[in-house]
Amino acid sequence: MKNILIIGSGGREHVLTWKLQQSNRVEKIYVIPGNAGTAQFAENVEIDVMDFEKIAKFIKSKNIEMTFVGPEKPLANGIVDYLNDKNIEVFGPNKKAAKLEGSKVYAKKVMKECNIPTAEFETFKDPQNAYDYLDLPNYPLVVKAEGLAYGKGVIIAKNQKEAKDAVKKIMEDKYFGKAGEKIVIEEYLKGEEASIMVFSDGNTNYQMFSAQDHKKIGENDTGLNTGGMGAYAPTPLIDETLKTKVDQEILNPLFNYLKNNSITFKGILFLGLMIDNKVPKVLEFNVRFGDPEAQVVIPLLENDLLTVAEKINQEKLNEIDLKWKNKKSMAVIMSSGGYPVEYKKGKEIFGLDDMENSGSEVFHAGTKLDGDKVYTNGGRVLAVTSLGDSYQEVYDRCYQNIKKINFDEAYYRKDIGFKIKGVKLLNE
């Protein structure tokens, strides 16, 4: 029996806590800093996720034998290296490997060197050079902050004015802070977005079930980009032929490159893909479970997640036979009114008790526990997640149950899964 630590406070960390507490090999789980949802199964601990020294001392004091790192910022800043140097076992890629997410410029250069299919691109350090470059005939195009911007540093520009406004916002107005010191300008890829998360020990790679996220705040994929307003898995967009292409054209060249450059990737690689006519192109790499993708993929995994993580750290992933439930899953995000721009926190959430035995799990993201009451504490607040035999079943169950929960100015999209053929939506 092992004591476990999970670092992070979002929906991804709640679903990790939920999954790990099902293991008969887990004694106790701690979460830094956690949320009202993780408090159901674990002890939340108020430590800054970037205070590596304090985290290491806490791990030693509680005899924690495995640490899972959820968010990208500590990974990109080398928490795995820091803890490994203190002989602490931690699940996640080291700083060199995490650069695939920490630097979009680096990731694009790696893709180019490996001939991995992706959008044509240019990188810029000087805003004036970027403005000059934008005198182009081809629009739309995409302007990206180079560093970590938590899923929001990507702007699609329909014309030159919007592109110049995006460069100014990122590079001169510093809207994303240091993340915007460099930018990537790339061609706009047509097609449909989907994602595949991959377990990797640096030698063996296993694709998980694919997922499809809904990034835009508005129905029918309109409005501003968010961290994700809902998702489903697996997506019908990705069949076995396409998964083979992903192995051959993306994963094999990437992991060969990393090996040849003495970078051992252990953990989760997230592939953000654009698929057009069954051709996958990489939009981005992330180096951790996606959110809300984790909330729909992890509940479908039958294996003990602790055992999978241990085998990855031992570079023995090939000894594991991954098993998946023959089900569909869907998550619908409830967010605070005003998200992803300005929103208020501290609204009491009602109806969570009514979700017991509802057939749906509620994974908390931006929530806070105060006594026995739960309050909103972020932009994306909850993910109502359902499993079932068909997409229609999980769609109906999610929306049946989401009505039981309410808080002031709560918002959710009513069309998660609208791209799936045959699914009848609420507003139809």
pLDDT in tens, 37-83: 999 999 999 999 999 999 999 999 999 999 999 999 999 999 999 99
The number of beta carbons lying within 10 Å of the beta carbon of residue 159 is 12
In words, the CATH class of domain 2-94 is alpha beta
CATH fourth-level superfamily of 120-187: ATP-grasp fold, A domain (3.30.1490.20)
Helices 104-114, 95-102: inter-axial angle, 10-degree rounding: 100
> Taking 80 as the threshold, does the pLDDT of residue 30 lie above it?
yes
CA distance 375 to 67: 27
> Taking 80 as the threshold, does the pLDDT of residue 136 lie above it?
no
Put residue 260 in one of left, alpha, beta given phi > 0 → left and psi -120 to 50 → alpha.
alpha
Strand bridging mode 26-33 / 2-8: parallel
- How does pLDDT run across 280-335, given as a tens digit for each residue? 999 999 999 999 999 999 999 999 999 999 999 999 999 999 999 999 999 999 99
How confident is the model at residue 142, as a pLDDT? 87
How confident is the model at residue 152, as a pLDDT? 65
How confident is the model at residue 175, as a pLDDT? 83
Residue 377: alpha-carbon gap to chain centroid = 19
Per the CB < 8 A criterion, the answer to whether 130 and 167 are in contact is yes
Sign of the torsion angle spanned by Cα atoms 357, 358, 360, 364? negative
CA distance 88 to 86: 5
| pLDDT grade for 151, boundaries at 50, 70 and 90 | low
Q: What is the mean pLDDT of the segment spanning 78-97?
A: 98
Where do the domains of the chain lie? 2-94, 120-187, 192-319, 328-411
Tell which wins on pLDDT, 102 or 43: 43
Q: What is the mean pLDDT of the segment spanning 412-420?
A: 96
Measured in degrees and rounded to the nearest 5, phi and psi for residue 84 equal: -60, -40
Measured in degrees and rounded to the nearest 5, phi and psi for residue 140 equal: -75, 165
**What does the DSSP 8-state code read for residue 317?**
G
Q: What is the CATH number of domain 328-411?
A: 3.90.600.10
Residue 81 DSSP SS3: helix
Name the residue with tokens 């908390």: 364
Sign of the torsion angle spanned by Cα atoms 369, 374, 380, 384? positive
> Taking 90 as the threshold, does the pLDDT of residue 138 lie above it?
no
Q: How far apart are the first and last CA of the chain?
A: 51
CA distance 262 to 408: 52
> What's the topology of domain 192-319?
D-amino Acid Aminotransferase; Chain A, domain 1 (3.30.470)
Question: Tell me, what amino acid is at 357?
Answer: N
CA angle centred on 146, ends 141 and 150, rounded to 5°: 95
Q: What mean pLDDT is reported for the chain? A: 94
> Taking 90 as the threshold, does the pLDDT of residue 427 lie above it?
no
